[in-house]
Amino acid sequence: EAQVTQNPRYLITVTGKKLTVTCSQNMNHEYMSWYRQDPGLGLRQIYYSMNVEVTDKGDVPEGYKVSRKEKRNFPLILESPSPNQTSLYFCASSLSGVHGYTFGSGTRLTVV
Amino acid sequence: EDKVVQSPLSLVVHEGDTVTLNCSYEVTNFRSLLWYKQEKKAPTFLFMLTSSGIEKKSGRLSSILDKKELFSILNITATQTGDSAIYLCAPPTGGTSYGKLTFGQGTILTVHP
């Protein structure tokens, strides 16, 4: 089944403790992207990647890192999480930037 | 700076009504506009529009793009309670890569029985 898989689905962590949210797609898509969704602020793009080793900032990249070492994987790294990074995170992939994205099921992160 | 504005922000209707959702945009190097439906989970893809005046249709949902006036509409006819969701639009941008995706605030549609 064609899908984008994110892990974990839920995560509670403490301020400053490094964490990684994994994302994997099985559709051989070139483009992958991370978003966060917050009440009243909508869905905002954090980072995107157009291919292996090619990434660029979205609208809210501060406090996040990404890497694209393999086509199928695009992990999101929070080196030193803070409470304002408490949010619902989505990973998504697309054949190309102009086509529709397939979203993962989301990761609800709470930083205390 | 890219700008995407959706209206209305919220809409409450009864089953059977027809609704029209609006998305206006200001982006450089426009290539396409994407519509999504989000229920209590991840957004699901509805339509990709690239050409003015050509209607895309899927069941009771349809959408059209006006590249001259920089807007798109999403129509839902004979609404059902299952249409209750947030509807989002976004035009891919980001130079020639088109990897950047700025979503509008969304329209929250509530359909009462």
For the segment B3-42, what is each residue's pLDDT rounded down to a tens digit? 999 999 999 999 999 999 999 999 888 888 999 999 988 9
Distance CA A4, CA B12 (A): 32
Tokens of B88: 């989002």
Write out pLDDT tens, residues B47-57.
999 988 889 99
B103/A44 CB distance under 8 A: yes
Distance of alpha carbon B108 from alpha carbon A61, whole angstroms: 27
Pairing of strands A19-25, A4-7: antiparallel
Q: What is the pLDDT averaged over residues B73-78?
A: 98
Name the residue among B41, B88, B99 with its Cβ closest to that of A50: B99
Structure confidence at residue B16 (pLDDT): 97
d(CA B100, CA A56): 8
Phi, psi of B83 (to 5 degrees): -85, -10
Kind and range of the H or E run holding B107: strand B107-112
Mapped onto helix, strand or coil, the DSSP state of residue A96 is coil
Q: CA-CA distance, B113 to B107, in Å (whole number)?
A: 19
Predicted confidence (pLDDT) at residue A51 exceeds the cutoff of 90: yes
Q: What percent of chain B has pLDDT over 90?
A: 73
User: Chain A: residue nearest B99 by CA?
Assistant: A97
Tell me the mean pLDDT in the region A72-98: 95
What confidence category does residue A25 fall into, taking pLDDT thresholds of 50, 70 and 90? very high
DSSP for A56-70, written as a single string: EE-S--TT-EE--SS
Q: Report residue B108's pLDDT band, with 50, 70 and 90 as the boundaries.
A: very high
Q: How confident is the model at residue A102 (pLDDT cuts 50, 70, 90)?
A: very high
At residue B29, the pLDDT reads 81
Give the model's confidence band at B98: pLDDT under 50 very low, under 70 low, under 90 confident, else very high: confident
Q: Which of B100, B71, B84 is nearest to B37 (CA)?
A: B84
**Residue of A31, A44, A105 with shortest CB distance to B41:** A105
